[in-house]
């Protein structure tokens, strides 16, 4: 009897071991050979190469993971202002990452220092690059107030180093985000042994690193200096083993380089600010939130901090912080980041401190009838410019695109070393159903089709200025050959709105706002080329791959 039991046990173990080996072999076969062709992958003889060790996306410096989902975007409280510009609508956002705090003065100073070293303003070819990146420190001035201490010190004095940056336009915030993307990816390549160690400190103008240039034309990165691009230990080791270029340059399929840092969309910002993770009850939200924190009040109800303000904001006429030493919120202007408790996503100052730029063009209505997934108004599709030899065009000192803003300020729209971008044309839009032109900012709200002048028959001609839905003022600035500016203000008395394609949404209340504006659903707009003393920004990054970092847990 015992012998039979032993034989049965041995047989079971053998079957289990065989099943395990078969499953392992299947797994190994899947990793080693193609499920499409059966060909061996990552073969020394050639064929398809990929990174089998690639993991999920790493969290970039300064970022916090936000798991996406559905939520009610827009007004959830009374509307005493009668703006009617934030009607409730159901939206879904994909998972993404967002800065833990607002971008600080210290972070922006690092950006300015890099530009000053790489594109010295003493060189006439690059002078306007640095000048265009400088913040407007005069935003602190008030005709009937003494604020010169902030004008002179707020950006550069170390006492304000960890305070949120202000005086920054939407355009400057976008350029900072682009710069941040390239610097983070540049460091990744250096750490991986692909590029030369510390090359980032020794680059010359026109020899800078651009992520898109590296991915699309790696031999043109760093001004075509291959001793830098392929100067790392890993690249040198690969070069000794193989005569071709396979593996010498990192590609998207390797999964090492980060997606772009960018401004969050309005939907992403509002979703992140609400921090609804704490209100989940199975597949619904319990109640609605007025602020990024729980409760209907601006003061803490916790035993240890009862009565403390949850953010800094204007509490009343002449009251920017409360009575000193008791109900004081700890700040009269902005406050050092992380001075208050974070919301349920771990994000600080999603109410109070400074209001924040988001990516969207402003329109009074969120068009959820057309789209309710990753909603964003502001798409202007571009493509890489290609020369007659079929190669991408790289921006040089002579081909920098400068833009004269409505206030006469001149800013650089690209930097040497980047790929020149041009609008998409009918080669990309012909017979497409998802988009038909490069500029989609006016789509269904501002274009001719959405105006009362549109006729469905006949040719769809260009819209005349007098037929525009949003006939905002058109101030013009001209520069002569000597650089002198001729500013021509729009003196028309027929203008009916300030809305146009150059105004951007900003969200959240600031140190200068009443608590009404702390509601994440509130939305306002401001010209993208202007700055104030109460608007800052934080960056976001798209999530690639799985929606969640963790698997679903049992509910019971």
**pLDDT, tens digit (0-9, with 9 covering 90-100), for 266-315:** 999 999 999 887 655 555 565 567 889 877 888 888 877 787 888 999 99
Question: Does residue 209 fall inside a structural domain?
Answer: no
Residues of the chain with pLDDT > 90: what percent? 56
237 vs 235: CA distance, rounded Å = 5
Q: Please indicate whether residue 394 or residue 324 has the higher confidence score (pLDDT).
A: 394
Give residue 29's pLDDT: 44
Return the HEC string of 245-265. CCCCCCCHHHCCCCCCEECCC
Summarize the confidence of residues 168-182 as an average pLDDT.
98
Summarize the confidence of residues 147-154 as an average pLDDT.
96
Question: Does residue 540 fall inside a structural domain?
Answer: yes
**pLDDT, tens digit (0-9, with 9 covering 90-100), for 91-135:** 999 999 999 999 999 999 999 999 999 999 999 889 999 999 999
- Cα diameter, the chain: 106
Give the lowest-confidence range in 175-189, 445-459, 521-535: 445-459
Question: Does residue 221 fall inside a structural domain?
Answer: no
- Under the banding of pLDDT at 50, 70 and 90, the label for residue 25 is very low
Summarize the confidence of residues 435-462 as an average pLDDT.
82
Helices (H), 312-468: 426-429
- Under the banding of pLDDT at 50, 70 and 90, the label for residue 27 is very low
Question: Does residue 486 fall inside a structural domain?
Answer: no
Give residue 247's pLDDT: 67
Give residue 34's pLDDT: 87
Q: Which residue has the tokens 């070069």?
A: 239
Q: Which helix or strand (DSSP H or E) is residue 372 part of?
A: none
365 vs 89: CA distance, rounded Å = 10
Could you tell me if 164 and 132 are in contact, meaning their C-beta atoms sit under 8 angstroms apart? Answer: no
Question: Does residue 339 fall inside a structural domain?
Answer: yes
Q: Which helix or strand (DSSP H or E) is residue 361 part of?
A: strand 355-361
**pLDDT, tens digit (0-9, with 9 covering 90-100), for 491-520:** 888 888 999 999 999 999 999 999 999 999
Give the lowest-confidence range in 295-299, 411-415, 462-466, 476-480: 462-466
Summarize the confidence of residues 177-194 as an average pLDDT.
96
- Under the banding of pLDDT at 50, 70 and 90, the label for residue 318 is very high
Q: Give residue 501's Cα distance to chain centre.
A: 19
Q: N- to C-terminal Cα distance for the chain?
A: 44
Question: Does residue 433 fall inside a structural domain?
Answer: no
Question: Does residue 186 fall inside a structural domain?
Answer: yes
Give residue 453's pLDDT: 79
Strands, E assignment, 400-479: 402-404, 410-412, 421-423, 476-479
pTM equals 0.91
Average pLDDT, the chain: 87
Which domain does 357 fall in, by range? 56-192+256-378+505-548
Give residue 538's pLDDT: 98
Strands, E assignment, 37-113: 63-66, 69-73, 89-93, 96-99
**pLDDT, tens digit (0-9, with 9 covering 90-100), for 222-237:** 999 988 998 887 777 7
Question: How many domains is the chain partitioned into structurally?
Answer: 1
Is pLDDT of 200 > 60? yes
Is pLDDT of 171 > 60? yes
Could you tell me if 385 and 407 are in contact, meaning their C-beta atoms sit under 8 angstroms apart? Answer: no
Give residue 26's pLDDT: 45
Q: What Rg value do the Cα atoms of the chain yield, rounded?
A: 28
Q: Tell me which residue of 522, 527, 532, 523 sits closest to 499, measured CA to CA.
A: 527
Q: Please indicate whether residue 432 or residue 550 has the higher confidence score (pLDDT).
A: 432
Is pLDDT of 44 > 90? no
Give residue 403's pLDDT: 87
Q: Tell me which residue of 310, 280, 309, 312 sits closest to 293, measured CA to CA.
A: 310
Question: Does residue 349 fall inside a structural domain?
Answer: yes
Count other Cβ atoms within 10 Å, centred on residue 551: 6
Could you tell me if 438 and 423 are in contact, meaning their C-beta atoms sit under 8 angstroms apart? Answer: yes
Q: Tell me which residue of 306, 304, 333, 307 sits closest to 321, measured CA to CA.
A: 333
- Under the banding of pLDDT at 50, 70 and 90, the label for residue 429 is very high
116: tokens are 């000053």
Give me the CATH number covering residue 266: 3.90.1580.10
- Under the banding of pLDDT at 50, 70 and 90, the label for residue 144 is very high
Summarize the confidence of residues 535-543 as an average pLDDT.
98
Summarize the confidence of residues 334-348 as an average pLDDT.
94
């Amino acid at each position: 009897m015992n012998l039979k039991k032993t034989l049965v046990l041995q047989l079971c173990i053998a079957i289990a071991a065989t099943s395990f080996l078969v499953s392992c072999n299947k797994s190994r076969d899947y990793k080693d050979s193609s499920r499409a062709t059966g060909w061996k992958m990552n073969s020394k003889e050639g064929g398809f190469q990929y990174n089998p060790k690639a993991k999920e996306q790493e969290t970039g410096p300064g970022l916090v993971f936000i798991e996406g989902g559905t939520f009610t975007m827009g007004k959830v409280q009374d509307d005493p202002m009668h703006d009617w510009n934030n009607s409730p609508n159901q939206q879904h956002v994909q998972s993404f990452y967002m800065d833990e705090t607002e971008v600080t003065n210290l972070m922006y100073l690092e950006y300015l220092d890099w530009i000053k070293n790489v594109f010295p303003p003493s060189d006439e070819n690059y002078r306007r690059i640095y000048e265009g990146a400088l913040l407007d420190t005069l935003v602190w001035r008030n005709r009937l107030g003494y604020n010169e201490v902030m004008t002179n010190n707020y950006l550069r004095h170390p006492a304000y180093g960890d305070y949120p940056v202000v005086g920054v336009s939407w355009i400057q915030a976008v350029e900072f985000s682009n710069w941040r993307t390239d610097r983070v990816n540049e460091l990744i390549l250096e750490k991986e042994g692909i590029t030369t160690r510390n090359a980032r400190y020794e680059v010359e103008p026109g020899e800078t690193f651009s992520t898109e240039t590296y991915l699309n034309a790696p031999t043109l990165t760093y001004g075509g200096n291959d001793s830098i691009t392929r100067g790392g230990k890993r690249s040198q080791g690969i070069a000794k083993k193989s005569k071709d270029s396979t593996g010498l340059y990192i590609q998207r399929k390797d999964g090492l380089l980060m997606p772009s840092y960018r401004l969050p969309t309005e939907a992403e910002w509002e979703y992140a600010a609400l921090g609804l993770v704490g209100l989940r009850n199975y597949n619904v939200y319990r109640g609605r939130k007025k602020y990024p924190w729980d409760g209907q009040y601006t003061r803490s109800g916790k035993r240890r901090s009862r009565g403390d303000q949850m953010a800094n904001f204007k509490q009343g006429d002449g009251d920017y912080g409360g009575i000193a030493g008791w109900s004081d919120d700890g700040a009269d202007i902005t406050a050092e980041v992380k001075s208050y408790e974070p919301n349920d996503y771990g994000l600080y100052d999603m109410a109070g401190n400074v209001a924040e730029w988001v990516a969207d063009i402003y329109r009074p209505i969120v068009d959820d009838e057309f789209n309710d997934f990753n909603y964003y108004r502001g798409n202007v599709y571009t493509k890489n410019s290609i020369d007659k030899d079929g190669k991408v065009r790289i921006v040089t000192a002579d081909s920098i695109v400068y833009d004269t803003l409505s206030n006469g300020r001149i800013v650089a729209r690209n930097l040497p070393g980047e790929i020149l971008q041009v609008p998409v044309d009918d080669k990309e839009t012909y017979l497409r159903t998802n988009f038909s032109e490069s500029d989609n900012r006016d789509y269904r709200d501002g274009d001719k089709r959405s105006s009362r002048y549109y006729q469905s028959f006949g040719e769809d001609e260009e819209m005349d200025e007098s037929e525009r839905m949003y006939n905002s003022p058109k101030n013009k600035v001209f520069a002569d050959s000597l650089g002198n500016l001729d500013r021509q203000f729009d003196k028309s008395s027929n203008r009916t709105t300030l809305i146009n394609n150059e105004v951007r949404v900003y969200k959240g209340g600031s140190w200068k706002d009443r608590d009404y504006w702390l509601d994440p659903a509130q939305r306002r707009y401001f010209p993208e080329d202007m700055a104030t003393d109460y608007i800052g920004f934080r960056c976001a990054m798209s999530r690639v791959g799985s929606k969640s970092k963790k698997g679903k847990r049992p509910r019971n």
